[in-house]
C-alpha cells in the first residue's frame, strides 16, 4: 500500500507544525531560565509570530478538504490512520474558533495574569474580579464554539483540549468515588501518624551544588538521557523542550533538599514519557503524548508510586546522607520515608500530600464547572472556596491568597485543566499496580536503584503507544480495565494505614 | 502624509520576518551554548523549518507587485523610503535564487563543513577538495544568479550579501594601499619591539570565576545593558540574539586571561552596535545593522582603537591586577600595554595582531576571487596559499591545518565575507579619529573607564543610523570622507612606531 497524496501532504504540514512548536518550547524554556528581564517584549513578539504562523498552517483553507481526501484515499496503516484521526481532532479545535476570539482570549489572559500577581500578593479578590470575568466570558465562548463543532458540552469542550476524550461525566464518577472515602482516610492517617510521635527533621543548610549533584545522580539512576536533555533552575519548576531535547527545571531551597529532590523526580517522570514516545513518529501528532492525564500519571508514577515508596527510599536514603554528610537517626530510610509520606491538610494545593491533593482538585473542578455553567457567580467564589475547603479538608484559608487566588490556572485561561492532576494520580496507581503484576522484578529493581524493569514496561505499554490509542484505550490495553479508583485506594490504604 | 497600503503590508511582513529571524538567533545561541549534543537533528529541523517559512514570506508571489506599488504609492518619509529600498534589496537577493539551488547549496555546505573538520584535524586538503569543489561550484552559480538580477559581477554579488554596496573595485583600492606599506611596517615594528627586550609574562593560573567577574566589570564600564543581554561560554565566541536580547559568548583559558578579556570587549563592541540601533525601527530592515564592514568596525573600534590604547589600559591594568591578586612589574599598565600590542607574524588569522591581520585577509580575498573566477584551481590552493604567506608575512605554514584549512568560511559557503574584517578595521580607525576630533572628552573618558562620550558619538553617527544610509553614506556623514586607509595607517604608525 502507498499512502494517498492528501495524507502525505498533511504529514509534511504537521512536521512543520511540530518544528514550530518545538522552537516555541525552547524559546519558552529560555524565557523562564535564561532570558534577561528586559527582553520580554522581544520574546513575546517572536512567540506571537510563531503562534500565528502555526495557526495559519493549522487552519489553512484547504485543510478540511485534505483531511476528507486523506480519509477517503485509503492506503493507511494503523499508525497513519490514528495520525489522521489526531490531525482531524486538532484541526477541529483550532478551526472552531474565529481568530478575533483567539486574539481577545489571549490578550484577556495576559492581562488577567498580570493583575492576578498583584491581587494574590495583596489578597485582593475584588481587584482580580473584572479581569477574571472577561477571561471566564471568553472561556465560555471558546467552549461554546468548540462544543458546537465537536458535539460536546461547553465544559467537555474545554476539558477535551487538555485531555482528548475526557468527559465530565467520567470525571464526576471518579471524583465522587474519591470524595466518598478520602476525607475520612485523611483523618485516619493523620491520627495514626500523630500517634507515632514527632519525626526527626533533616537539618540543613543543604548546599545548592550538593543538591544539584544528588538530583543528577537520581536522574541518572532513573535513566534520564543527558545526551538529549538538561536540568536547570527556574522560579516555577517544569518540563519543557522537545522529546529529543528535554529541559527539566527545579528550584533549590537550602533549608529543605527533600522537596526539590522529589520535584526533580516528578519532572523526570514527565521527561521519561516524552523521551519514550515512538521515535518513528517524532514529528507527527500520533507520536505525541496522549494528554495531560497520562502525562501527569507518568510524573506521579515516578514520584508518588515509585520514589516515595519504601523500596526506593531504602536505596536512596544512604545516598542522600552521603550527599550532605548527614548522620544519625534522622537519615535512616525509615525516618526519610516518614518525611516523604507525611499527611497534613494544607491551604495550598502545590504543598499537598498525595492523600489530600485530590480534595484540592475536586474543589477546583466543582467550582470551575459551576462558574462555566453560570451556576456560581464570581463574587461568590471566595465564599464557595472556603466552604469547600471546610467540607473537604476541614480547614478554612485565612486569606484569599491562600484560598481562591493561589493558582494561576483561571486567570491564565486554563479552565478544564485541574481535573487532569487527579485523573493522573489515579491512573498512576492503576498503571503501577499492573506493571508490578506483569513484571515481579520491578519492585526489587527500585530497591537497588534500578529503574530499567519499570521503564521497560512503561515504554511498551504507555510511552511507545504515543497517541495511537485513546487514554482509556491505553489504560485498558495496559491494565485490563478503564480508569478506576480501586488501585489508587488500595495504594493509599496500603501505604498509609497498612491495610 | 499617510503611508500607502502596499508599504504598510510590507512593514507587517517584515515585522514577521524579523521575529522569525530573532527566534532563529536565540535558537542558534542555544545550540552553541546550552543544547545537549544529542539534540542536533531536532534543532536542525526547527531551524530549517523557520528558514523555509522566512523564505516563503520573503519571496511570496505578490512581493514584486507590493514593492512596486509601495514605491509608486508615495507618502513615505526618509526612513520609510530607506526601509523600502532595503526591502527591495533583500527581496532581490532572496528571489534571485531558484529554490533547488538554495537547497543544494545548503546541503553542500553542511556536508563540506563536516568533512572540513576532519580534513583540518588530519591536515588533509585532498580529503576536503571534492566537497569544497561542489561548494565552490554552487557558490559561483549563486553569484551568477544574483549578479544577473542585481547587475553585478559574480564576486560583487557574493560580497554584496555581507556588505551591501560593497564592490571588489573598492576593496582592491583599499587592499592595494594596505599591501603597499603593511609588510614593511610589520618588519619595522618587530625590530623595534625586539630591541625593547622581553616583556614580562602574566603568570596564572587565572580562575575562570575571577575572569568572568572582570569581564562583566569591563562590560559594565563600556555600558552594556545586562537587562537586555548576557555573557556566556561557547567553544567559538560570538555575539548573537537580538538587539533587545543580546547574547555574548567567550571562552576562558586559565593560563591566559588577557586574550579572553579582549575577546569579551570585542564582542561587546558588536553588542553595543546592536543595542544602539534605532529602537523606533526595531523590527524593520532599515533599523538593522548596516553590514559586516560596519559591524566589524564597531567591535574593532572598541577592542583595537579604544581598549588596546594606552589611556584605557592605564585605567584597566590595576583592575586586572586586583581581579587576580597580581603584583609587581608585570602588572603595570606599561607592561600590559606591551602585551596587548605585540606584533608577531602568525600562521593563524584569529591569532594575528592588528598590524599583520590585514595581510591574512588580503591573501584570502585574492585567493577567493581567483577561485570564483576560475583563475585558481582548487588543487593549486595549498601552494598558492603558502606562496602568499611567504610574500605577505614572510612565513610558510608547515601544514595545511595551519594554512589553507584553518578557516571554516570556504567550506561553509561564506565566500565574499573575508574582506569585511579588514574593511572593518580600516573603518574603525577612521571613525575613532573622527570621534576624537569631534569630542575631545572621548580619550580622557577612556582613561577613567568612562565610555559615555565615545558611545554618545557612536550612537548618533553610526548606531542610530541603522540602515538608513549606505556604509559609505554613514562614513561620509560621520567622518567627512568615504572609506580610506589614511586614518588606519596613522593609527598603526602612531601606536607602533611613535610616528
pLDDT digits (tens, 9 = 90+) for B302-352: 999 999 999 999 999 999 999 999 999 999 999 999 999 999 999 999 999
The last residue of a domain, from among B39, B71, B95: B95
B192, pLDDT greater than 80? yes
Of B42, B53, B245, the CB nearest to A36: B245
Q: Spell out which residues of chain B touch residue A49, defining contact as CB-CB under 8 Å.
A: 15-16, 19-20, 23
Tell me the residues of chain A between 234 and 273 that have a Cβ less than 8 Å away from chain B. 242, 244-245
| Residue A173 counted as domain residue | yes
Region B143-159: what's the mean pLDDT?
98
Residue of A nearest to B20 (CA): A46
Of A23, A226, A283, the CB nearest to B50: A23
State the nearest Cα–Cα gap between A152 and chain B, in angstroms. 35
Query: Could you confirm whether B267 is annotated as catalytic?
Result: yes
Region B363-379: what's the mean pLDDT?
98
* B437 in the same domain as B328: yes
Give me chain B's average pLDDT, please. 97
Query: How far is A499 from A491, CA to CA, in rounded Å?
Result: 9
Of B23, B37, B228, the CB nearest to A50: B23
Of B36, B46, B245, the CB nearest to A39: B245
A279 interfacial to chain B (CB closer than 8 Å): no
Query: How far is A116 from B420, CA to CA, in rounded Å?
Result: 51
pLDDT at A354: 98
Of A34, A38, A227, the CB nearest to B37: A227
State the nearest Cα–Cα gap between B403 and chain A, in angstroms. 34
B48 interfacial to chain A (CB closer than 8 Å): yes
* B368 in the same domain as B239: yes
| Residue A123 counted as domain residue | no
The last residue of a domain, from among A46, A80, A95: A95
| Confidence class for position B66, pLDDT limits 50, 70, 90 | very high
Residue of A nearest to B56 (CA): A53
| Residue B120 counted as domain residue | no
Contact across the interface for A22 and B30, Cβ inside 8 Å: no
* A172 in the same domain as A281: yes
**What's the CATH code of the domain at B273?**
1.10.1370.30
Residue of B nearest to A44 (CA): B19
| Residue B107 counted as domain residue | no
Contact across the interface for B242 and A36, Cβ inside 8 Å: no
* B346 in the same domain as B214: yes
* B59 in the same domain as B185: no
Contact across the interface for B53 and A23, Cβ inside 8 Å: no
| Residue B159 counted as domain residue | no
**A-to-B residue pairs, Cβ atoms closer than 8 angstroms:** 101
Q: Spell out which residues of chain B touch residue A226, defining contact as CB-CB under 8 Å.
A: 36
* A333 in the same domain as A212: yes
A228 interfacial to chain B (CB closer than 8 Å): yes
Query: How far is A141 from B286, CA to CA, in rounded Å?
Result: 42
Is-contact B290 B423, C-beta < 8 A? no
* A41 in the same domain as A182: no
Model confidence pLDDT, tens digit, residues A244-270: 999 999 999 999 999 999 999 999 999
Contact across the interface for B227 and A36, Cβ inside 8 Å: yes
B16 interfacial to chain A (CB closer than 8 Å): yes
Contact across the interface for B35 and A227, Cβ inside 8 Å: no
| Residue A108 counted as domain residue | no
Helices marked H in A354-438 — which ranges?
Answer: 357-373, 381-393, 419-438
pLDDT at A1: 56
Q: Spell out which residues of chain A touch residue B240, defining contact as CB-CB under 8 Å.
A: none
State the nearest Cα–Cα gap between A44 and chain B, in angstroms. 9
**Residue B229: what are its φ and ψ, rounded to 5°?**
180, 170
Q: Spell out which residues of chain B touch residue A43, defining contact as CB-CB under 8 Å.
A: 26, 245
With a threshold of 0.90, tell me whether the complex ipTM lies above it.
yes
B41 interfacial to chain A (CB closer than 8 Å): yes
Of A46, A230, A245, the CB nearest to B22: A46
Domain hosting residue B294, numbered range: 164-499
Question: Looking at B86, B163, B267, B368, which residue is catalytic?
Answer: B267
* A338 in the same domain as A207: yes
State the nearest Cα–Cα gap between B44 and chain A, in angstroms. 9
Residue of A nearest to B23 (CA): A46
Into how many domains does chain B fold? 2
pLDDT at A3: 86
Of A49, A228, A230, the CB nearest to B20: A49
Element (H, E) at A405: none
| Residue A12 counted as domain residue | yes
| Residue B468 counted as domain residue | yes
Q: With the C-alpha atoms ordered A10, A12, A16, A21, is the resulting torsion angle positive or negative?
A: positive
Q: Are strands A239-242 and A245-250 parallel, antiparallel or unpaired?
A: antiparallel
B1, pLDDT greater than 80? no
State the nearest Cα–Cα gap between A237 and chain B, in angstroms. 18
* A189 in the same domain as A67: no
User: Which cell goes with A256?
Assistant: 529543605
* B85 in the same domain as B168: no
Q: Spell out which residues of chain B touch residue A36, defining contact as CB-CB under 8 Å.
A: 226-230, 245
Q: With the C-alpha atoms ordered A96, A99, A101, A103, is the resulting torsion angle positive or negative?
A: positive
pLDDT at B3: 85
pLDDT in tens, chain A (499 residues): 588 999 999 999 999 999 999 999 999 999 999 999 999 999 999 999 999 999 999 999 999 999 999 999 999 999 999 999 999 999 999 999 998 999 899 989 989 999 999 999 999 999 999 999 999 999 999 999 999 999 999 999 999 999 999 999 999 999 999 999 999 999 999 999 999 989 999 999 999 999 999 999 999 999 999 999 999 999 999 999 999 999 999 999 999 999 999 999 999 999 999 999 999 999 999 999 999 999 999 999 999 999 999 999 999 999 999 999 999 999 999 999 999 999 999 999 999 999 999 999 999 999 999 999 999 999 999 999 999 999 999 999 999 999 999 999 999 999 999 999 999 999 999 999 999 999 999 999 999 999 999 999 999 999 999 999 999 999 999 999 999 999 999 999 999 998 7
A209 interfacial to chain B (CB closer than 8 Å): no
Question: Looking at A11, A86, A163, A267, which residue is catalytic?
Answer: A267
* B168 in the same domain as B91: no
Helices marked H in A196-230 — which ranges?
Answer: 208-222
Region B177-186: what's the mean pLDDT?
98
Q: Spell out which residues of chain B touch residue A52, defining contact as CB-CB under 8 Å.
A: 16
B71 interfacial to chain A (CB closer than 8 Å): no
Q: Spell out which residues of chain B touch residue A42, defining contact as CB-CB under 8 Å.
A: 22, 242, 244-245
pLDDT at B2: 79
* A187 in the same domain as A69: no
A56 interfacial to chain B (CB closer than 8 Å): no
The last residue of a domain, from among B80, B95, B110: B95
Amino acid at each position: 500500500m502507498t499512502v494517498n497524496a492528501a495524507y502525505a501532504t498533511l504529514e509534511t504540514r504537521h512536521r512543520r507544525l511540530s518544528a514550530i512548536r518545538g522552537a516555541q518550547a525552547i524559546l519558552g524554556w529560555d524565557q523562564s531560565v535564561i532570558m534577561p528581564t528586559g527582553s520580554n517584549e522581544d520574546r513575546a513578539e517572536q512567540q506571537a509570530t510563531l503562534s500565528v504562523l502555526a495557526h495559519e498552517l493549522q487552519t489553512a483553507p484547504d485543510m478540511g478538504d485534505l483531511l476528507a481526501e486523506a480519509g477517503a484515499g485509503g492506503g493507511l496503516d494503523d499508525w497513519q490512520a490514528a495520525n489522521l484521526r489526531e490531525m482531524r481532532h486538532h484541526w477541529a479545535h483550532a478551526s472552531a474558533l474565529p481568530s478575533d476570539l483567539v486574539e481577545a482570549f489571549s490578550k484577556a489572559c495576559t492581562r488577567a495574569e498580570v493583575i492576578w500577581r498583584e491581587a494574590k500578593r495583596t489578597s485582593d479578590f475584588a481587584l482580580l474580579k473584572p479581569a477574571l470575568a472577561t477571561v471566564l466570558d471568553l472561556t465560555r465562548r471558546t467552549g461554546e464554539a468548540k462544543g458546537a463543532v465537536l458535539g460536546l458540552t461547553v465544559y467537555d469542550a474545554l476539558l477535551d483540549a487538555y485531555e482528548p476524550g475526557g468527559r465530565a461525566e467520567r470525571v464526576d464518577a471518579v471524583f465522587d468515588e474519591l470524595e466518598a472515602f478520602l476525607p475520612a482516610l485523611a483523618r485516619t492517617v493523620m491520627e495514626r501518624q500523630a500517634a507515632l510521635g514527632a519525626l526527626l527533621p533533616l537539618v540543613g543548610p543543604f548546599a545548592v551544588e550538593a543538591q544539584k549533584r544528588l538530583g543528577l545522580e537520581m536522574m541518572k539512576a532513573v535513566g534520564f538521557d543527558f545526551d538529549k536533555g538538561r536540568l536547570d533552575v527556574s522560579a516555577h519548576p517544569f518540563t519543557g523542550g522537545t522529546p529529543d531535547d528535554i529541559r527539566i527545571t527545579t528550584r533549590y531551597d537550602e533549608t529543605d533538599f527533600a522537596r526539590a529532590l522529589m520535584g526533580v523526580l516528578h519532572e523526570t517522570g514527565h521527561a521519561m514519557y516524552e523521551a519514550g514516545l515512538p521515535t518513528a513518529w517524532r514529528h507527527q501528532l500520533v507520536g505525541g503524548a496522549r494528554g495531560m492525564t497520562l502525562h501527569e500519571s507518568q510524573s506521579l508514577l515516578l514520584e508518588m508510586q515509585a520514589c516515595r515508596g519504601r523500596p526506593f527510599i531504602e536505596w536512596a536514603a544512604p545516598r542522600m546522607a552521603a550527599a550532605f554528610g548527614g548522620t544519625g537517626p534522622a537519615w535512616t530510610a525509615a525516618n526519610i520515608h516518614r518525611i516523604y509520606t507525611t499527611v497534613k491538610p494544607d491551604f495550598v494545593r502545590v504543598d499537598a500530600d498525595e492523600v489530600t491533593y485530590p480534595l484540592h482538585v475536586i474543589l477546583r473542578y466543582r467550582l470551575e464547572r459551576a462558574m462555566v455553567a453560570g451556576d456560581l457567580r464570581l463574587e461568590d467564589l471566595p465564599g464557595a472556596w472556603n466552604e469547600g475547603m471546610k467540607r473537604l479538608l476541614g480547614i478554612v484559608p485565612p486569606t484569599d491568597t491562600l484560598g481562591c487566588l493561589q493558582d494561576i490556572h483561571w486567570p491564565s485561561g486554563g479552565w478544564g485543566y485541574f481535573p487532569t492532576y487527579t485523573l493522573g494520580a489515579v491512573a498512576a496507581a492503576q498503571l503501577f499496580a499492573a506493571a508490578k503484576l506483569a513484571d515481579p522484578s520491578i519492585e526489587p529493581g527500585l530497591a537497588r536503584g534500578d529503574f530499567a524493569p519499570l521503564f521497560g514496561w512503561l515504554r511498551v505499554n504507555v510511552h511507545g503507544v504515543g497517541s495511537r490509542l485513546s487514554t482509556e484505550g491505553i489504560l485498558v490495553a495496559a491494565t485490563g480495565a478503564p480508569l478506576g479508583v480501586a488501585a489508587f485506594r488500595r495504594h493509599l490504604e496500603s501505604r498509609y494505614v497498612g491495610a
